[in-house]
Amino acid sequence: MIIVFEPKATEAQVQHVFERLQEWGFTPVLQEGEQISIAITGDSSALRTQTLEAFDGVQKAVRLKEAYKLVSKEFKPEGTVIELGDVKIGGKKLLMIAGPCSVETEEQYVSTARAVKKAGAQVLRAGIYKPRTSPYDFQGVGERGFPWLKKAKDETGLPLCAEVLDVASIAKTKDHVDMYQVGARNMQNYDLLRALGKGGKPVLLKRGLSGTIKELLLAAEYIMSSGNHDVMLCERGIRTYETATRFTLDIGAVPVLHHDTHLPVIVDPSHPAGKRSLVGSMAKAGVAAGADGLIVEVHPEPEKAWSDAAQQLTFDQFEQLMAELKPVAQAVGREL
């Protein structure tokens, strides 16, 4: 349920309702925007809308149709803009996250950081942990890569986005990265999601391989209901019967998510493509569909990459992609 206050409602009136809800055993969440509202998380079926609308300053009380509340656009009609230092995610300017699939060596990582920064990326991928389908595949360099992350950030000034696999890896990385990523395989790792709700950093939440849009939104609700509202949703392709591409990029998910939620939507064109020759087209489709940003894999020598070699772009290919994306972004009223 959401309680929407009148535009002229006073701070005292809002606080009175908030405290009364707490006294009744509910967990209210205050949303301050163009119009102040309070979301009531948990089971609010016993509450009558007439009771809430009787409070001074309350315009209306709305019972939500969906299980997700804080994620819902009904809770916050205007889009969320997440601030990551000087980078704004969800505004007019498109976000570009780029870097290698995985951190391999200091030279490989720092050279990639310089190249993507020069081409216009605003956030750097920092894959030190790599959950893999096979236990025999490269699993990431782990903590020994932290000095390489620092060097890359010191040289370029780019904030770092790193995947975390479990609750323990949040604590390990918190002093070394600026944004957490939840990989597709962990979309419904609820202990991890709850911990990220207390992690204090923005979260890029990837859709699961077979996850529905509703399941993605409920996963985001886990993070937000634990206290962290800086969440981005990432469409990275889902598993279907089609084998021509690695995954099927659900481009329709982008406008659906924008319709249902206020959170920024990011598209990962690298994983559904599976081939670097297809990445550019999928990236343009994502921008044209209304994505707030992209996350793209880039490597100095993709054919020698320790993971996802076939889908990573060279430095020149990434620079060309950035140039080709600009008119597409402009056509839909965005900037790159």
SS (H, E, C) 77-98: CCCCCEEECCEEECCCECEEEE
Topology adopted by domain 2-62: Alpha-Beta Plaits (3.30.70)
Q: What is the CATH number of domain 82-331?
A: 3.20.20.70
Which amino acid belongs to residue 283? A
Nearest by Cα to 96 from 282, 335, 305: 335
Where are the domain boundaries for CATH 3.30.70.1140 in the chain? 2-62
The pTM for the full model equals: 0.89
Residue 8, number of CB atoms within 10 A of its CB: 8
Where are the domain boundaries for CATH 3.20.20.70 in the chain? 82-331
Identify whether the C-beta of residue 265 lies closer than 8 Å to the C-beta of residue 232. Answer: yes
Handedness of CA 203, 297, 104, 130 (dihedral sign): positive
Which amino acid belongs to residue 51? T
Per-residue pLDDT tens listing for the chain (336 residues): 889 999 999 999 999 999 999 999 888 888 887 778 898 877 788 888 999 999 999 999 988 777 888 999 888 888 999 999 999 999 999 999 999 999 999 999 999 999 999 999 999 999 999 887 888 888 889 999 999 999 999 999 999 999 999 999 999 999 999 999 999 999 999 999 999 999 899 999 999 999 999 999 999 999 998 989 999 999 999 999 999 999 999 999 999 999 999 999 999 999 999 999 999 999 999 999 999 999 999 999 999 999 999 999 999 999 999 999 999 999 999 999
Residue 291, number of CB atoms within 10 A of its CB: 29
Q: Given the DSSP bridges, would you call strands 87-89 and 160-163 parallel, antiparallel or unpaired?
A: unpaired
